[in-house]
Amino acid sequence: MSEFGRENPQFYLTAPTACPYLPGKYERKVFTHLVGEKASALNDILTQGGFRRSQNIAYRPACEACKACVSVRVRVDEFQPSRTFRRIIKRNADLIGEELPPQPSADQYALFRDYLDMRHAEGGMAEMTVLDYAMMVEDTHVETRVIEYRRRGPDSGIRGRGRGPLIAVALTDVLSDGLSMVYSFFDPDMADRSLGTFMILDHIERARKAGLPYVYLGYWVKGSPKMGYKIRFAPQEHLTGTGWLRVEGEDDAQD
């Protein structure tokens, strides 16, 4: 990419494709590249404007006849875990997440494949190879962390790392105003732990400790069961045509 392209991002529009969330709908996306020295600053601005990151691409929906995708961020300082959330935190008190650089590993890919095969066998990521996974993790020009969750060991409080098999993983961007959860996956045989919910709760606590006001959860799609869980983390803000609007969640949405 030329120096002009690095300093002045160009935006592109995709062709219509079938919507993965709402049957009978078609989606289009506007996207740009996140490269160069200003990639982190650009990622901050775009995330605050409703974009998401995938590798070195920032994108957001640009559908002509549908506005169902709504950007969601949790208000960290005001968040108070519900009784359900407190049970999930207690259930996973034996886990600890270790922050690592964005580097893939064989353990991560094995868990990733198990997760896809059990939870998203028909999804768009189902055919991802080990090379595809490596690119998803390490192809980043912004501040990114991999958080690996394992069971606590006797020295976890000192070293900040667990022991034993890998149980869950989160790929997370560190922004100037929060944490953005890019992608997460977990052991599908541990459904009773509600690990997806636990990782969000853990990120809210991480953001709180870091003095960051938000955790960005990506898009909530009203009417899509697979996205319903995001509305549970309240209070939160939704991006509207006039800016971010505070809303309350629905704690009884599906896990």
pLDDT band at residue 5 using 50, 70 and 90 as cut-offs = very low
For β-strands 29-33 and 57-61, DSSP reports them as antiparallel
Report pTM. Answer: 0.90
- Report the DSSP pairing between strands 144-151 and 163-174: antiparallel
Could you tell me the domains of the chain? 81-215 (3.40.630.30)
Cis peptide bond upstream of 235, omega within 30: yes
- pLDDT for 252 equals 33
pLDDT tens, residue by residue, 167-208: 999 999 999 999 999 999 999 999 999 999 999 999 999 999
| Spatial CB neighbours of 87, under 8 Å, sequence gap ≥ 6 | none
CB burial of 212-232 (b: ≥16 within 10 Å; e: otherwise) equals bebbbbbbbbeebeebbbbbb
Q: What is the DSSP letter of 15?
A: P
Residue 250's pLDDT is 60
Residue matched to tokens 């961007």: 173
List, for residues 241-251, the tens digit of each pLDDT value.
899 999 976 64
Average pLDDT over every residue of 16-22: 89
